[in-house]
Amino acid sequence: MPRREVPADARAKPPRARWSVHFGCVPGGTCGTNGRKIGRRRRAISEDFARCTAKTAKWLQPRALIATFRALLWLASVSVGPVAAAPPYKGTVFLDPNILTQSDPTALRSLTPRGRGDRMMFDRRVNGWITARAYLFDAQFDDGLDIEIQVNPEFSAAAAVAEASKYAESIGRLPTLLRAGVETVWLHRGRKLFGGGNKNILIHLQMAEEYMRDGFLEEALMHEGVHSSLDPQHRRSPGWRAAQAADGKYISEYALDHPDREDLAESFVPYFAVRHRVDRLPKAMRETILKAIPNRIAYFDSLTRETLAFGVWRTPPPISLRSVRSIRFWEPARAVHVREVEP
């Protein structure tokens, strides 16, 4: 949630004389700011009293009272501000395993071995960049996109073929627009977090097998595909900023904690769910998502109308946001286990 900026004039300390004179004066009494003078000279007392009474009378005029009341209301709104609503989910990768499954069609057309070559890859096991003589594969997709799969040489040649084929097929289940910015995929052993960005998707095999076992592999790949394909142009765009502000809340705690880095990726999986997998989604979850981020959904709608219209994906009729009713349920969600590779 973008912090509400306090106007500079509200932060500035009011002129001391102005406030002490206006609010220190009591009609018919003494003026607090000049109290010491009052005890010294009777003439000064009468002069101060007259001046104070005149200023008090001026402040009691209806126009001045109304202006004061308005100013107090404004100060109250600035100091309190809107209360940010809590996100409905911890993370969105694990919302529902049926959003994208192994049974969905893939756009993978072919996987061609290209021998081996030196490649620089990020490996979370050493938390850094390595250069390895990787097994290389050219994955081609029905929508004209292609990706180089780079497999760590710690695998045997046969295992490299099997793993490259498996994950190229899963990546082919992503919508076209989420593969458009992916140029390479890194495959390593190890139970480490996935990564996105760098025009790449980073996969550690043991973690991928856990995701696959639980049904969340494609959802995790979708999240990372957003980082590589949509983040560069959209995560800080004026339109996205406006959608964030208009929604006034985040879909997940992960997005709230990292609004610039994660909000786009965290919002896309639930967007895809309510727009393209609504028949697989529990009704309460659908309503929660539509209620939480309607403006972000509209933003994605403007992006996907063309890019989902070809390849293996078809765009179903849009859901009417007017049909959303108040939210009564909050679904628990597992913590997100997806982090980014720092370039």
Q: Which residues bind Zn ion (CB under 5 A)?
A: 262, 265
Between CA 98 and CA 280 the distance in angstroms is 6
Between CA 122 and CA 118 the distance in angstroms is 13
* Strand-pair partners of 202: 186, 195
* Shortest separation between residue 269's beta carbon and Zn ion, angstroms: 10
Of 172 and 225, the one with the shorter C-beta distance to Zn ion is: 225
Of 173 and 235, the one with the shorter C-beta distance to Zn ion is: 235
Residue closest to Zn ion, measured at CB: 265
Between CA 159 and CA 161 the distance in angstroms is 5
* Shortest separation between residue 261's beta carbon and Zn ion, angstroms: 7
Q: How far is CA 136 from CA 151, 183, 191, 203, in A?
A: 7, 13, 22, 15
Between CA 160 and CA 150 the distance in angstroms is 9
As to burial, measured by CB atoms within 10 angstroms (0-12 exposed, 13-18 middle, 19+ buried), residue 49 is middle
In the structure encoding, which two tokens stand for residue 14, read together?
A: 């009011």
Provide the sign of the torsion angle of the four alpha carbons 271, 274, 276, 281, taken in this order. positive
* Shortest separation between residue 24's beta carbon and Zn ion, angstroms: 57
Phi and psi (nearest 5°) for 267?
-80, -25
Of 253 and 262, the one with the shorter C-beta distance to Zn ion is: 262
* Shortest separation between residue 338's beta carbon and Zn ion, angstroms: 5
Between CA 53 and CA 84 the distance in angstroms is 45
Of 137 and 272, the one with the shorter C-beta distance to Zn ion is: 272
Residues ≥6 apart with Cβ < 8 Å to 245 = 2
**Identity of residue 290:** L
In the structure encoding, which two tokens stand for residue 288, read together?
A: 């929660």
Place of tokens 């208009």: 246
Of 48 and 266, the one with the shorter C-beta distance to Zn ion is: 266
Q: How far is CA 271 from CA 223, 229, 232, 322, in A?
A: 11, 16, 19, 16
Between CA 337 and CA 343 the distance in angstroms is 19
* Shortest separation between residue 145's beta carbon and Zn ion, angstroms: 21
Of 123 and 262, the one with the shorter C-beta distance to Zn ion is: 262
Of 135 and 194, the one with the shorter C-beta distance to Zn ion is: 194
* Shortest separation between residue 266's beta carbon and Zn ion, angstroms: 7
* Shortest separation between residue 340's beta carbon and Zn ion, angstroms: 5
Least Cα distance to 89 among 336, 340, 337, 265 occurs for: 336
Of 96 and 262, the one with the shorter C-beta distance to Zn ion is: 262
* Shortest separation between residue 160's beta carbon and Zn ion, angstroms: 27
Of 21 and 222, the one with the shorter C-beta distance to Zn ion is: 222
* Shortest separation between residue 321's beta carbon and Zn ion, angstroms: 26
